[in-house]
Amino acid sequence: MDAAALRAEFPVFEQLAYLNAGTCGPLPAAGAEAASGVLARAVEEGRRQPYFAALLESRERLRNAYAELLGAAAGDVALTTCTSEGIVRVLAALDLGSGDEVLSSDEEHPGLQGPLAAARAQRAVAIRVVPFGEIADAVGPATKLVACSHVSWLSGRVVPALSAIADVPVLLDGAQGIGAVPTDVATLGCAFYAGSGQKWLCGPVGSGMLWVSPQWSERLPASGPTYVNLADPGAGLDAVPHVGAARHDASAQGLETIAAAAAALGVLGGAGWDAVHDRAATLAGELADALAGRGREVAPRDRTTLVSWQDADPAATRVTLAEAGVIVRDLPGTGLLRASVGAWNDASDIERLLCALP
C-alpha cells in the first residue's frame, strides 16, 4: 500500500494531525469534488429526470459497495443516514413489549442508549446492562434481543464472540467497526448490523447502512415505509414495501451525499481494504504503546483503531491539543481522551500528539 499516496487524498493533513475519524473521518478531496460536481450540475440544469436517474443508479452502486465491505448481499443492505437511524429502525420494527428484555452493555453510545431508553419508556421493554466483555454469556430467559457495539467507542475493545447466542437476535452498533476493522457479518453472529458512512468510511454526514440478515428479512417489517421503500409507490394505499433491506432505506438522501460517500469508498478501496485495516490498527497500537511508555493510563483495548487514555482534564487537554493542530476528542464523564487512528495517519501525527500533550 502506498501510504503517502493515500494520505495525500485527504487535504486536512496539510494542516492538522487529524485523529478524529471515530467522530467524522477525514474527507477526501475526491468526495468533496463528487458532491460539488453534483451540486454544480443541479444549479445549472435543475434537478430533473437525469438527476433522479443518476440518484437511483448511484444508490445501488453504493449499496453494492457497502455490501462488499460487509461480506453481504446487496439486497440485505439498507442505505441509512447514520448508525443511529439503523438502530432506531430495527428497534421500532421488532415486536418488543412488556416482559421482554434487551440485553446491552455498559460501554454503549447514546446512539444506542437513546433508542433503548425510548423502548423502555414507551413499550415497557426491560433493559439489562452488563459489562461489555461479559455480554456473550449474559443472555437470560427473558432476553429477546442483544444490542451492543461491535467495537466500544470508549475503549476500542471488540465485542466477545457472539456465535454461541443461538436463539436471540443480536443488533450490533457498528459505528466504530465498519471501515475501521475487518467486518464480516456472517462470522460476527449478528442479525442486524448498523454502521456509519461518515466515520471510518470517510463519507459525508448523512450516509450509513443497515445490514439485515436474510433470516430476518421477512420478519422485520418496514417501520416507516415511504416513497423510496415501496416496490410500487403508484399503488397508493395498496403499495407494499420492497422485498429485502431496501424497505429500511432512509426516506431521502441527495445525490451529492451518495456521490461523496461512493467516491470516498473508492479512495479507500483503491488502497486495499486489508492494507487499510492493518495499517490503521498497527499505527493505533504504536500510539497506545507510546502513551503507556510515557506513563499514561491507556484504557484496555483490542487491535482496533481507537486509543483512549486517562487525562486529568480531558476537555481542556482537547482544546490545548487542537491549538497545536492535533484533533482528538474527549469522552465526557469518563476522564478519557480518545484518538482515532486511520490508515491515512502517519508517524508524524502520532509524534505531534505526543509532543503537544501537556
By CB neighbour count within 10 A (0-12 exposed, 13-18 middle, 19+ buried), where does 207 fall? buried
Report the residue closest to ligand PLP, judged by CB.
Answer: 111
| DSSP H stretches of helix in 94-158 | 110-123
Cβ atoms of residues 104 and 129 within 8 Å = yes
Assess 173 for contact with ligand PLP (CB under 6 A).
Answer: yes
Which of 25, 28, 31, 111: binder of ligand PLP (CB under 6 A)? Answer: 111
Task: Dump the DSSP string for 185-241.
Answer: HHHHT-SEEEEESSSTT---TT-EEEEE-HHHHTTS--SS--GGGBS-GGGGGG--B
Assess 80 for contact with ligand PLP (CB under 6 A).
Answer: no
Which of 84, 155, 257, 340: binder of ligand PLP (CB under 6 A)? Answer: 84
Which grid coordinates are listed for 356? 503537544
Assess 208 for contact with ligand PLP (CB under 6 A).
Answer: yes
User: Cβ 141 to ligand PLP, closest distance in Å?
Assistant: 28
Residue nearer to ligand PLP on the CB measure, 9 or 107: 107
By CB neighbour count within 10 A (0-12 exposed, 13-18 middle, 19+ buried), where does 140 fall? exposed
Assess 305 for contact with ligand PLP (CB under 6 A).
Answer: no
Assess 153 for contact with ligand PLP (CB under 6 A).
Answer: yes
Residue nearer to ligand PLP on the CB measure, 58 or 196: 196
Cβ atoms of residues 158 and 151 within 8 Å = yes
Number of residues that bind ligand PLP (CB under 6 A): 15
Assess 196 for contact with ligand PLP (CB under 6 A).
Answer: yes
Chain centre to alpha carbon of residue 177: 6
User: Cβ 3 to ligand PLP, closest distance in Å?
Assistant: 25
User: Cβ 27 to ligand PLP, closest distance in Å?
Assistant: 15
Give the Cα separation of 186 and 256 in Å (integer).
31
Which of 78, 82, 130, 262: binder of ligand PLP (CB under 6 A)? Answer: 82
Give the Cα separation of 287 and 202 in Å (integer).
21
Residues that bind ligand PLP (CB under 6 A): 22-23, 82-84, 109, 111-112, 149, 153, 173, 175-176, 196, 208
